[in-house]
Amino acid sequence: MSWANFNEFKSLTGWGVWGIILLIAAIFVWVIGYTLQKYSRKKLGQLNLIDKLISQRSDFLRILRPVLILAAFILLLIAYAKPQTSGKTHQVSEIGLDIIVALDFSKSMNVQDMHGSRLEHAKRELSRLIDDLGGDRIGLIAFAGTPMTYPLTTDYESAKMFWENLHPEDMPLGGTAIGRALNSAKQLLVEVRDPKKERAQIVILLSDGEDLASAPLKIAKKMSDLGIRIYTVGIGSEDGALVPMLTENGNTTGYVKHGDNYITSKLDQKLLIDIAKTTSGKYFRATKKDFGTQKILKSIKKLKKSEGEKRKIKEYNEEFKWFLVPAFFLLLLEFGLLGDKKLFRTQEN
């Protein structure tokens, strides 16, 4: 029989250590005691005659009883160590992920080149995406010049309320700091990591990609080193469009200027593609006809399956009974020898 391991081998700690110490001490005391007893009897005269006078049992029986006790004790110690053999291996078919969805709330997301503004279109599609997730923890990030975060949860409805009524004008600092958003995502994911229950972690980043100051590729490399994948979604026109100025009611009052020049916003696909590649993720292009939601879900499901295939649950067969039963039998046998004084009696000449 091939032993796979001794699970929870308690003989290395606690009572098992004392069991081994007592076993060694018992053997030592018995050997010393038996030797001294033999030596003392020999001093009194002829050893065979003295043995017959003081005991009706043979040397064989006197040796057999402690051997039985010793063997039973060894078997009990082995049984206590819970020996196991290899059993069946079960493969986890699917496992939940930790997902951060980071949505760009910069003013360029007010551009009306989708079904409504880029931001309105993204909120609708991401809401559908979140509803289709299952068994995954999700956290949200709204970012412009600085990020606002919502920690990971399985309460999808509460999470979606985080940015339901949030607009670019509500952000404390303007701009598009993708690097800061990714750094916040990294912190959220690292905080919930559990070595005992590993889960694959991903970030879904949606933006027009216009980042000039926050070094997103450097942060993406750090996330890659942590095993975090980033799936990027590019939204907007590559030709560029004017950035509108909106009232609280969402009405356009004009367009954003820098000095005397109007600011145009266009999709920077290269940055988003590079971020995804750095972390072994994927890039998706969002359009009016196809936002890419189903493609993202498909990639997530593939990742779940891939992670599940890597994780195998191995069962072990408990084998302590093969040692416990013989130990019990040996103790019964020793008890029987103790009660029968005629057994193995030395024959007189």
Q: Is residue 349 part of a domain?
A: no
Three-state SS letters, the chain: CCEEEECCCHHHCCHHHHHHHHHHHHHHHHHHHHHHHHHHHHHHCCHHHHHHHHCCECHHHHHHHHHHHHHHHHHHHHHHCCEEEEEEEEECCCCCCEEEEEEECCHHHHCCCECECHHHHHHHHHHHHHHCCCCCEEEEEEECCCEEEEEEECCHHHHHHCCCCCCHHHCCCCCCCHHHHHHHHHHHHHHCCCCCCCCCEEEEEEECCCCCCCCHHHHHHHHHHCCCEEEEEEECCCCCEECEEECCCCCEEEECEECCEECEECCCHHHHHHHHHHCCCCEEEECCCCCCHHHHHHHHHHHHHHHHHHCEEEEEEECCHHHHHHHHHHHHHHHHHHHCCCCCECCCC
Write out pLDDT tens, residues 69-114. 777 777 777 777 777 777 665 554 456 789 999 999 988 888 888 8
44 and 68 co-located in one domain: yes
Write out pLDDT tens, residues 125-137. 888 888 888 778 9
- Domain containing 254 equals 98-310
Q: Is residue 344 part of a domain?
A: no
179 and 51 co-located in one domain: no
84 and 122 co-located in one domain: no
pLDDT reported for residue 233: 92
83 and 123 co-located in one domain: no
Kindly tell me if the per-residue pLDDT of 179 is higher than 50: yes
81 and 110 co-located in one domain: no
Distance CA 89, CA 315 (A): 6
Report the CATH number that the domain containing residue 179 is assigned in CATH: 3.40.50.410
178 and 208 co-located in one domain: yes
63 and 105 co-located in one domain: no
154 and 105 co-located in one domain: yes
49 and 179 co-located in one domain: no
128 and 230 co-located in one domain: yes
20 and 107 co-located in one domain: no
Q: Is residue 345 part of a domain?
A: no
283 and 200 co-located in one domain: yes
Kindly tell me if the per-residue pLDDT of 206 is higher than 50: yes
Q: Is residue 348 part of a domain?
A: no
Q: Is residue 277 part of a domain?
A: yes
How many domains are contained in the chain? Answer: 2
Write out pLDDT tens, residues 10-43. 434 455 556 666 666 666 666 676 676 666 666 6
